[in-house]
Amino acid sequence: MTVEQRSMFKKSDNTYSIIVDIGNTDIVCALFEADSIVFKCRLKTDLTMDISTYHSLIIRKMADYDLSSVRHIGLGSVVPKMTSLLKEMFAIYFKAEVFEIDGLSELSLSYEIESRSASGADLVANALAAFKIYQKNCIVVDMGTSTTIQLVTQDAVYKGLIIAPGLKSAADSLIQKAARLEDIELKTPTKLLGQNTIESMLSGIVGGHIRMIESTVWKICKEYHEISPFKVVVTGGLAALIEPVMPHGYVYDPDHTLKGLHYALMELLEKR
């Protein structure tokens, strides 16, 4: 971002909203102006850090913006202890309403799962964003600590979910249990059959993960053929690793969950 762009945002008279997506590994904070993300940053999920430390990190990363104009904060979390910590932080340091988003939030979704309360904020956000953005039957793949694959209909029905070990979790498990394998940097594989240990591991770990996703998507399409075709959306912190080799027609959107949390915040504000 240029100095001129930073100056422009500093002088903006519009109010901002902050969306916070708390995951097991990372916390993603996004500053929205109207419906657009103007800034995004990533923090580590670390329960050993206190409220003032997290506040200092956020203020420093968003130093180019006037956070006194933040009126609403939407918070989605899969880490309850971190939820409490950040809610307290926002209550102390920000003059803004905090809305926690989860499976029990009254949104324009209906559910076929057994317990709405068991549905994490990220899954609710992914389902809502799929409905709002595409208005089609969607399969949403979210690659984080775990890889989740969910089916959402064009009528905003959250039909169900698959949870698989995440790409990095699977890699760490393999390396820990195989004495002769060393830790490697995860990146997109360049070939199917590796000619050395690193190439072979990348093909198996990263390439294998995309093949797992492809076959699962195919199986969902076959089993739910009566409501096909489907839009396939891929998101999550590790999704960039497979984006270059995704099947044609898949949509990569790194901000899909953030957009869903923002849609949820807007719906909750409208219903007050």
Question: What is the rounded distance in angstroms from the CA atom of residue 256 to the CA atom of residue 236?
Answer: 8
Q: What is the CATH number of the domain that holds 175?
A: 3.30.420.40
- Measure the CA–CA gap between 199 and 203, rounded to whole angstroms: 6
- Tell me the two tokens of residue 160: 């169900």
Q: Is the pLDDT of residue 129 over 60?
A: yes
Percent of the chain at pLDDT > 90 equals 61
Residue 63 lies in a domain: yes
Integer Cα distance of 85 and 46 in angstroms: 11
Q: HSE on the CB side for 263, CA within 13 Å? A: 21
64 in a domain, yes or no? yes
**Bridge partners, 180 (sequence order):** none
147 in any annotated domain: yes
Q: Which two tokens stand for residue 71?
A: 């009126």
Q: Are residue 66 and residue 163 in the same domain, yes or no?
A: no
Average per-residue pLDDT for the chain:
88
How many angstroms separate the CA atoms of 183 and 168, rounded?
Answer: 11
- Catalytic, 21? Answer no
Band (pLDDT 50/70/90 cuts) for residue 36 is: very high
Q: Is the pTM of this model over 0.85?
A: yes
Active-site hit among 13, 26, 102, 122 = 122
Rounded to 5°, angle at Cα 146 from 89 and 195: 130
